[in-house]
Amino acid sequence: MRAIPAARTLVAALLLCVACLASAFADVAVPQLTGRAVDQTGTLSASDIAGLNSKLKDLETHKGSQVAVLIVPTTQPETIEQFSIRVAEAWKIGRKKIDDGALLVVAKNDHRVRIEVGYGLEGSLTDVTSRRIIDEDITPKFRTGDFAGGINAGIDRIIAVANGETLPAPEPQASHGVDLDWDNISSLAPFVLVGAIFVAGFLRAILGRFLGAIATGGVVGVIAWAIAGSLAAAFLVGIVGFVVAMFADALSSFGPPGRGYGGGWSGGSSSGGWSSGGSRSDDGGFSGRGGSFGGGGASGSW
């Protein structure tokens, strides 16, 4: 009878060993695409990432091509070639049917780097060119510990090569006449609501309902411009400030009885459709556009 508990212990130990081995040999998960530059190692500073995002966004805007950067600690047990093609297929960098995407992958602990190239860029960003970019621009800086410098140098050259490729022009982006910075606008939402309420209460008492609302919109708009540095955002914030100042007391009539504004104003105002609780990626909701990859590119080490 004692043999049964011993057998169970042995089986449990064997299963634990199998689980440990399976974990050790499991592929690294494809990271979530949160922006044009994804760093899972903390190697790049916020300003480094912002700079990369800016230049890669500019490339997509005027050329249409998409390029992304991924830094991971390791790709083991896979080779960097196996891992990078999995990422490229999952992220789908580049335009669908044009396939003008490129992916720069750095496996920091493995001392390995790879440029993965979409079909549409293989005419100019050839395997030989990709290898030269790695050997001449990226790895020399990596060897001195300058990872930001190496990545930027490599990306600059990839962009230069992509600009030389003959590709269909990017489709015009839908626009309503102004390019609004929605991140700045959403961050100003609490200021607009609270500021408009308090400023309007003072200005309406002096200037009257209509002129007071106009003055309120102007005040919050100017302050928003000073904070956000965007005239488009300031204009929209000013309009919202005017509307809040003009109609907040009317909106209060929809609330529970006995909770009016006391002369038209109270701290319990509605947000009027604005919200500061939304979240966005560090690169404005960047995503791949359906590009395909076939394993073109090159790898290197330092």
What's the confidence (pLDDT) of residue 140? 97
Return d(Cα 219, Cα 258) in angstroms, integer: 31
Q: What is the mean pLDDT of residues 247-275?
A: 43
List the single range of 41-50, 77-86, 246-255, 270-279 with lowest mean pLDDT: 270-279
Return the residue matching tokens 């999952």. Answer: 90
CATH number of the domain at 37-170+292-301, please?
Answer: 3.10.310.50
Any alpha helices (H) in the chain, and if so which ranges?
3-24, 46-62, 80-91, 127-133, 139-142, 147-163, 182-207, 209-228, 231-251
Return d(Cα 21, Cα 14) in angstroms, integer: 11
Work out the number of other CB atoms within 10 angstroms of the CB of residue 198: 12
Instruction: Write the pLDDT tens digit of every residue in 186-236.
Output: 555 666 666 667 776 777 677 777 787 788 778 777 776 666 556 666 677
What's the confidence (pLDDT) of residue 269? 36
Instruction: Write the pLDDT tens digit of every residue in 72-105.
Output: 999 999 999 999 999 999 999 999 999 999 999 9
> Domain locations in the chain?
37-170+292-301, 182-254
Q: Which residues contact 64 (CB under 8 A, 6 or more apart)?
A: 95, 98, 100, 167, 168, 169, 170, 171
Share of the chain above pLDDT 90, in %: 43
Contact between 37 and 49 (Cβ < 8 Å)? yes
Q: Which is more confident, 244 or 127?
A: 127
Return d(Cα 135, Cα 156) in angstroms, integer: 14
What's the confidence (pLDDT) of residue 70? 97
Contact between 118 and 93 (Cβ < 8 Å)? yes
SS3 state at 58: helix
Instruction: Write the pLDDT tens digit of every residue in 209-223.
Output: 778 778 877 877 777
Mean of all residue pLDDT scores within the chain: 76
What's the confidence (pLDDT) of residue 145? 95
**Burial 279-296, CB ≥16 within 10 A → b, else e:** eeebbeebebbebbbeeb
The number of angstroms, rounded, from the C-alpha of 126 to the middle of its chain's C-alpha atoms is 28
